[in-house]
Amino acid sequence: MASTTLEEKKPRFSWGAVLSLLVGALRLFLVFRKIDFKEFSGALAQTRWGWIGAALVCGLLSHWFRGLRWVMLAEPLGHRPAALPTFYAVMSGYLANLALPRLGEITRCLLLARKTPLGFNALVGTVVMERLMDLLILVILSLVVLVAYSEMLWDPVMAFFGARSLGMGWIQSMLVLASLALLPIVLWKSLGRLIPIPDKLRTMLRDFGHGMAGLWRLPNPALFVVYTVLIWLGYFLMTYLCFFAFPGAEGLGLGEALLLLVAGAFGFVMPVQGGMGAYHAAIVWTLGRIPGLVMSASSALAFATLSHLAQTVLVVVVGGMCYFLMSLLPDHPKVA
C-alpha cells in the first residue's frame, strides 16, 4: 500500500478563512482611516512603473530559486522532481495563501504529490524544514537590523518583550521554537514504543520525519545555501527597486531596504491572507521612524500599498497560470 493516498474531497465552507479575511480588512481600515486620500492617490499617480516591473522580475526569480531549493530537499526521498512542475506547485501555493493563511504549504505538497511518486506526508516534512530555515534567516536579518538601527528600534522592541532584556527575549523565543521542533521526535522515541499507535498514523509520522531529515542528506549542501541566499536576495532587491519607483523614496538606500524587508516579512507571516493590512501597518510604521525621511503617512501608505499590490498581482497572475499548467500535467499513478 502506498504511504500516502490522496482523497478527493468536496470543498467546504471555512470559517477560518472568513475570520482571517475580516481581521485583514479591520487592519486595512485602521491603517487607512486617517489617510488623506487625495495625497495618497497623487503619490500613486507618480509611480515609475518600469522599476516596479524590475522588482517583480526579482520577485519571480526568488520564487524560481525557492522551487529549485525544494527540489533539493525532495531528492533524498528517492525521487528528484523536475524543476518546472516544482515551480508550478510553489506558485500555486502562494496563490492558495491568498485564500487562507498557510493553506499554500498544504496545497503545493498536494499538487506535487499528485504529479510525482513522492508522498504527501514526506513533502510536508520538507516544507516544514524549509520554513524553519527561512525563519532562521529572518531571525538573523532581524538581529542585523536591530543592531544597525538600535536607536530607532530599541525602545519598541524592549516594550514588546515587556521590560525583559532583549537578549533573554530572543533566547527564550529560540528555545521555545527549538523545543517545539524537537517535541515530536522526543515523543516518537519515548512514547512511540510504549503506547500503541495505529499503523496508518505511524506510517504518516515516519514519512513526515523522512521529509524533515532530508536537510541532512542533501546531495549538495553548498548549492542549497546558494539557493537560500538567492531567494532572500530576490526579496531584498524587490524592496530596494521599489524605492526608485516611488516619489520621495529615492533617497532610501540598501540599509533601509533591509529594514523594510524585515518589517514586511513580519507583516506577511501574520495570520491574514497575503499579509493584508499587517504588511501595510508594518511598512508605514517603519517608514515613519526612519531618521531624516520626509514622507507623510499618506505617502508611506501609498508606498506600502503599491509594494503589496505588485506582489499580489504577481502571485495572482503567475500563480493562476502555474496552477492551470500544473493541472495539464498527468497524475502519477499511485500504488493501491
In a domain, 18, yes or no: no
In a domain, 204, yes or no: yes
Residue 168, pLDDT > 70, answer no
Indicate the residue type of 232. W
Backbone phi and psi for residue 330, each to the nearest 5 degrees, phi listed first: -70, 145
| Confidence grade of residue 194 (pLDDT, cut at 50, 70, 90) | low
In a domain, 27, yes or no: no
State pTM to two decimals: 0.77
Please tell me what DSSP assigns to residue 119: -
Over residues 261-282, mean pLDDT: 77
In a domain, 16, yes or no: no
pLDDT of residue 172: 56
In a domain, 86, yes or no: yes
Dist. CA 161–CA 206, nearest whole Å: 37
pLDDT of residue 296: 74
Q: Per mean pLDDT, which of 150-154, 155-159, 228-232 is the most reliable?
A: 228-232
Percent helix, strand, coil in the chain (nearest 5)? 75, 0, 25
64-89 pLDDT, tens digit each: 999 999 999 999 988 899 999 999 99
Could you tell me which residues come within 8 angstroms of residue 32 by beta carbon, excluding any fewer than 6 positions away?
301
Over residues 283-304, mean pLDDT: 80
In a domain, 42, yes or no: no
In a domain, 305, yes or no: yes
Q: For the chain, how many structural domains are there in total?
A: 1
Residue 243, pLDDT > 50, answer yes
What radius of gyration do the chain's Cα atoms show? 21
In a domain, 29, yes or no: no
Q: Per mean pLDDT, which of 185-194, 273-282, 283-292 is the most reliable?
A: 283-292
**Location of C-alpha cell 536576495:** 233
- Tell me which residue range forms the domain holding 244: 47-328
Indicate the residue type of 162. G
